[in-house]
Structure 1
């Protein structure tokens, strides 16, 4: 452990024992993930999201750094075309009242995932369909931009479309 890290941990322990820092404050000591800390990919769940006119995927985050870091439990995800135009934006799935989004602490070399559901067939009167080429995860310390698999999202003719997005949860290995 580096000297500065030992000092920080020692100082935190002294503060906890002295009662000047609550356990909730100690929890906040974990830094936010930097874009370079994360690997992001999409997983179709072997078709578990596919139906008559809907589809989806898991957005999978992997902490490739050597330390814990925090991300929002419900990261903002935008789907864009090659010209950086936003085509679709994630909206929170219905949450129970006691399940308000906060932060998730990603341990080193652990995977987390969040569900994404969308309408994939043009079932709307005067609807539109788009095929995004990339996804942008908006995080506190910077955006993570990755290729988005060839998928079609449809919705009303308003721009941009929306898709339902779940909170991050630890992925089974």
Structure 2
């Protein structure tokens, strides 16, 4: 003789709710990306950043690990010379009130990018221009150092210069 299994509705609802909490917690428990997880390079945007005395680039990140990991939506970026002197520092682009920096979850091998804009012509009285060799991206678990393409950044006679930096966004397919 076979008995049918019967579960009370309140017990079933409780199991579903507890399971839902665990799933939500698992979604939030994504680890921070390690520097070794990340591949970083620059793209010129096929001239999209270039103007009379402006230039820029996309900084492109890829998670080369086999699992998801998290990075800040606005990683700190500094540009250095060959002697490790900081020449330029990224400053956040203005954000709308609903667009607050947070973390981005990078799926394995997915590409993300952030814009970088700067003044490329010596348009300042008594200004200065620099040509960085390297970019340093700072993440919670360490820095990623990568060659910076041959570009010139200019600004007022202050050290270091600044450039505008946007938040990470998925690379369109």
Pairwise same-fold verdict (TM > 0.5): yes
Please give the residue correspondences for 1:55-74 in structure 2 after superposition, counting only pairs within 5 Å: 55-74=55-74
- Shift of the 142–16 alpha-carbon distance from structure 1 to 2, 3 Å rule, reads farther
Shift of 1:49: 0.3
Q: Where does residue 98 of structure 1 map in the other structure? A: 98
| Matched-pair contact (CA < 8 Å) for 1:72–1:103 | yes
- Shift of the 115–16 alpha-carbon distance from structure 1 to 2, 3 Å rule, reads farther
TM-score where L is the length of structure 1: 0.87
| Matched-pair contact (CA < 8 Å) for 1:112–1:169 | yes
- State the secondary structure of the residue aligned to 1:18: helix
Distance 2:21 2:35 in 1: 29
Shift of 1:16: 8.6
Question: Does residue 166 of structure 1 match 2:166?
Answer: yes
Shift of 1:95: 0.4
Q: Could you say what the CA RMSD is over the residues aligned between the two structures, in angstroms? A: 2.0
Shift of 1:172: 1.6
- State the secondary structure of the residue aligned to 1:31: coil
TM-score where L is the length of structure 2: 0.87
Q: Where does residue 8 of structure 1 map in the other structure? A: none
Shift of 1:26: 4.0
Higher mean C-alpha displacement, 20-29 vs 41-50: 20-29
Distance 1:123 1:137 in 2: 28
Q: Where does residue 7 of structure 1 map in the other structure? A: none
Give the total of aligned pairs: 160
Please give the residue correspondences for 1:1-173 in structure 2 after superposition, counting only pairs within 5 Å: 17-18=17-18, 21=21, 25-173=25-173
Distance 2:49 2:22 in 1: 42
Shift of 1:98: 1.1
- Structure 1: tracts of 5 or more residues without a match: 1-14
